[in-house]
Amino acid sequence: MVMDFEFRKQVMDYHQGSDVIKYCYQCSRCTDNCPVSFVTDELYQYGYNPRRNILNALLGYKDNIFSADLIAIWGCTVCDTCDEVCPQNIELTEIFTLLKNQSIEKGEGPDFIFQQAQAIYESGKAIPSQAALERRRESMGLPAIIAPNVDEFQMLMNNMEINKKLKKGD
Ligand code: SF4
Ligand code: SF4
């Protein structure tokens, strides 16, 4: 196991309000309350485990996180339960956002993330409009959905250089 000090510093810098006395003491309250951990316990070799992620992140064991199954990073649905129950006020989801961003930078994110980003780039929506949905809304007397300004979305995403990261592995 190699400790990556640069990665460790990135984690500490990313975690707003972090200081030494807030270190995780591995009580596992986050994992015990995580709904994803609950439902994946028997599906994957190790299940999804936020406590383990935090341990590896705070110790700089980058390889343990990035060489594991993608669920180690992408299993988190950002429900924020762990943030609320952590007795040390560690904002776990902040750290998990860093991990997800680094996963994308490495071109290793799951396909559905790239597909959804591509859909937003092309249509301004994560789930593009469908004629059947529009008809159903109309039949229920709901107002028509105003089409988003796709040019604006594309300009924003281009400015953030997200367009360069839309394809996995690019
Ligand atoms: S709840 Fe907080 S202190 Fe406890 S293991 Fe999780 S991150 Fe660490
Ligand atoms: S925010 Fe993520 S890690 Fe935390 S409890 Fe929800 S799914 Fe689990």
Query: Could you tell me which of 45, 103, 97 has the C-alpha nearest to residue 76?
Result: 97
What distance in Å separates the CA atoms of residue 71 and residue 68, rounded to the nearest whole number?
Answer: 8
Domain assignments of the chain as residue spans, ordered by start: 5-105, 111-165
pLDDT at residue number 69: 79
User: Do the Cβ atoms of 45 and 69 come closer than 8 Å?
Assistant: yes
With both helix axes pointing from N to C terminus, report the angle between 92-105 and 5-14 in degrees, rounded to the nearest 10: 130
pLDDT at residue number 155: 94
Distance set, CA 77 to CA 12, 16, 68, 97, 131 (Å):
22, 20, 18, 11, 29
* pLDDT digits 0-9 by tens, 125-153: 888 888 898 899 999 999 988 888 999 98
Query: Could you tell me which of 89, 76, 81 has the C-alpha nearest to residue 22?
Result: 89
Superfamily assignment of 5-105 in CATH?
Alpha-helical ferredoxin (1.10.1060.10)
pLDDT at residue number 54: 93
Which residues form ligand 2's pocket by a CB distance below 6 Å? 34, 36, 50, 76-82, 92-93
Model pTM score = 0.83
Location of structure tokens 């609320």 = 84
pLDDT greater than 80 at residue 41? no
Ligand 1 pocket test: pick from 29, 31, 37, 53 the residue with the most ligand atoms within 8 Å of its Cβ.
Answer: 29
Q: Which one of the ligands is nearest to 75 CA? A: 2
Ligand 1 atom closest to the CA of 82, numbered from 1 = 1
* pLDDT digits 0-9 by tens, 60-93: 999 988 887 788 899 999 999 999 999 988 889 9
User: Do the Cβ atoms of 116 and 126 come closer than 8 Å?
Assistant: yes
Tokens of 15: 């975690």
